[in-house]
Structure 1
Amino acid sequence: MTAGLRELKKQQTRQAISDTATRLFLERGFEAVTIAEIAAAAQVAKMTVTNYFPRKEDLALDYHEPFTAALAHTVAGRQEGESALAALRREYLAAVERHDPAIGFTGPEFARMIADSPALTARLRELHDQREDALADVLADAFAADSTADPADEPAVERTADPAADPAADPAADPVADPVADPVADPAADPGDLTPRAVAALLTAVHRTLFQQVLDLTRAGRTNEEIATVATRSAHQVFGLLEASLGDYAVR
């Protein structure tokens, strides 16, 4: 068997296990189904199930890897002249249009399964936290790269001979020179700066809030079209709350 066929076989086995597990979870509830029962129904060894899915929760939340990487990926690939906030808003609205399961369009039975399972609810919180960590790393890396830029590329600033007439000649008179006065102005100036982490927390909180709303509406049996209408309105509202503070942050 070639490497390509072997990899395809692995993907098919993994998908079959995931599909079987999801069917059993929906029929009987997440906690009521064992790994051994999933293995028997999928006609594989129990060890095969755990090799592909070390955590039982990830059999239900099979999209965990792209989910945790999504925000970081969007910001890393933001367009020229686009801020982190604008990129995430754009991608979220596009996900609403395609009724993406990764933002909560999961179907009422699946949404109820998550809500009824303490283990899945806890795992979902972990995934949101991991998503925040990944986003914070991307923001920190972006500004670490900015800090290594050649100073010769910066526009020259004309100074006057009299410091009293030139506030830029006196750091105490220049609020931009004070990281406390304007922490967003130069987030790479201090290796211990918390701005990327704080921004990641705010942006992830928006997605947590929107995800929960979509999940709640899905569980209530609202149609995808109805949910999309509400989610679009909510997205404009909550992203808009951050526009004044983060609209110009992390612009490529």
Structure 2
Amino acid sequence: MGSGSALVRAVPGARPAPAPATSPRGPAAPPVDRTPPAVEAPAPAPPPAVDAPVPSPPAAPPGGRPAPEPADGGRAARRRERRERRGPGVRERRRLETHDRIVEAAAALFAERGFDAVSVVEIAQRAGVVEKTVFNHFPVKEGLVLATDPPMRRALLAAVAGRPAGESAAAAAGTFVVTAMTSLGDPEAAAGVAAMARIVRGSRTLQAREREILGEITAALAAQIREETGSDDGSVEPELTAAAVTALYGRLLELARDRVLAGVTGPELGAELRAAGRRGLSLLQFGLAGYAKRR
């Protein structure tokens, strides 16, 4: 998770939304959050890789007739390859520039007056576009801060799906969460975390949306675990496992916000998040049987 972004922007490398800009989709005001989730504005899709290979025609099946050549002699494929090598065209560059202007304008306005007090019309005027353009990029106002499809969700599900044999889903998911949230201790993340904390905590709308995002991540993780294990509809384990993981995620995000607002950043914050995360991870892996026993 990168700078202090919301729930959705908590994944390293993820493009933050206008929070300053990673929750607690944490999931922003100037500076714009440029960190990895918890939950911010969706970033435009990157241009195709320069070296993206052009698919070759399928080989002929054994004993079968060779696949027919493309009707145009492969010219369309070659044109597509040339476009990919050139990178985004003028229209796409303009779209990305407009997207960035909208995000930066929103971040500045939210920092000045808070999310709820700023209208989409004002954001459009500050960005130098019409209101419709803002909605073309962000169908809902909350999307300027919290991503509709947080990168955190995709990364978390991938970490669980790709875990090695012998590792539990809870261990894989919990380890990923702790590693991602510890990155909020990076010195360059401090401003983003603080700005995001102020914006989200100053808006009931964003707080409600963050809770919805956490619920969506929980449901997606539970569904993946249920499918993998073949659990029947009456089993409670998938939902309990997923809820425990996202509870750890949300708590670490809020801890990061609390500490940054209190002036704690850098290695000290990273160490606190790591220690708290490991305690939570221990409970995920070994259970609650020995925790808070009455003496």
Q: Same fold (TM over 0.5)?
A: yes
Q: 1:11 aligns with which of 96, 103, 107?
A: 96
| Residue 89 (structure 1) aligns with | 174
**Cα 1:62/1:12, change in 2 over 3 Å:** farther
* Residue identity matched to 2:239: R
Q: 2:197 aligns with which of 72, 86, 111?
A: 111
Are the equivalent residues in 1 in contact too, given 2:221–2:242 (CA < 8 A)? yes
- What is the rounded CA distance, in whole Å, between the counterparts of 2:185 and 2:157 in structure 1? 17
- What is the rounded CA distance, in whole Å, between the counterparts of 2:196 and 2:135 in structure 1? 22
Q: 2:139 aligns with which of 54, 57, 61?
A: 54
**Cα 1:8/1:139, change in 2 over 3 Å:** farther
SS for the counterpart of 1:99 is helix
**Cα 1:13/1:82, change in 2 over 3 Å:** farther
Count of paired positions: 199
SS for the counterpart of 2:158 is helix
C-alpha displacement of 1:240: 0.8
Where in structure 2 are the equivalents of 1:1-252 lying within 5 Å? 4-5=88-89, 6-62=91-147, 65-99=150-184, 106-144=192-230, 188=231, 190-245=232-287
Q: If the length of structure 2 is used for normalisation, what is the TM-score?
A: 0.60
- What is the rounded CA distance, in whole Å, between the counterparts of 1:52 and 1:134 in structure 2? 25
Are the equivalent residues in 2 in contact too, given 1:132–1:204 (CA < 8 A)? yes
- What is the rounded CA distance, in whole Å, between the counterparts of 2:271 and 2:166 in structure 1? 28
- What is the rounded CA distance, in whole Å, between the counterparts of 1:126 and 1:191 in structure 2? 23
- What is the rounded CA distance, in whole Å, between the counterparts of 2:182 and 2:193 in structure 1? 16
Are the equivalent residues in 2 in contact too, given 1:210–1:231 (CA < 8 A)? yes
- What is the rounded CA distance, in whole Å, between the counterparts of 2:140 and 2:148 in structure 1? 13
- What is the rounded CA distance, in whole Å, between the counterparts of 2:161 and 2:185 in structure 1? 20
Gaps of 5+ in 2: 1-82, 289-295
Instruction: Provide the identity percentage.
Output: 34
Residues 15-64 of structure 1 deviation map (CA, whole Å, 9 limit, x = unaligned): 32112211211122112211001111111110111122122122122485
**Cα 1:28/1:90, change in 2 over 3 Å:** same
- What is the rounded CA distance, in whole Å, between the counterparts of 1:93 and 1:65 in structure 2? 17
SS for the counterpart of 1:82 is coil
Are the equivalent residues in 1 in contact too, given 2:175–2:281 (CA < 8 A)? no
Are the equivalent residues in 2 in contact too, given 1:107–1:218 (CA < 8 A)? yes
Q: Which has the larger radius of gyration?
A: 1
* Residue identity matched to 1:197: E
C-alpha displacement of 1:96: 4.0
- What is the rounded CA distance, in whole Å, between the counterparts of 1:44 and 1:78 in structure 2? 45
SS for the counterpart of 1:13 is helix
- What is the rounded CA distance, in whole Å, between the counterparts of 1:82 and 1:229 in structure 2? 25
Are the equivalent residues in 2 in contact too, given 1:18–1:59 (CA < 8 A)? yes
C-alpha displacement of 1:195: 1.8
Are the equivalent residues in 2 in contact too, given 1:39–1:49 (CA < 8 A)? yes
- What is the rounded CA distance, in whole Å, between the counterparts of 1:18 and 1:134 in structure 2? 28
Are the equivalent residues in 2 in contact too, given 1:109–1:219 (CA < 8 A)? no
Instruction: Name which of structure 1's ranges 36-45 and 218-227 shifts more when overlaid on structure 2.
Output: 218-227
C-alpha displacement of 1:10: 3.0
Q: Which has the higher helix share?
A: 1
- What is the rounded CA distance, in whole Å, between the counterparts of 2:220 and 2:185 in structure 1? 21
* Residue identity matched to 2:263: G
- RMSD over equivalenced CA pairs, Å: 2.6
- What is the rounded CA distance, in whole Å, between the counterparts of 2:101 and 2:279 in structure 1? 40
* Residue identity matched to 1:198: L
C-alpha displacement of 1:233: 0.6
- What is the rounded CA distance, in whole Å, between the counterparts of 2:143 and 2:112 in structure 1? 17
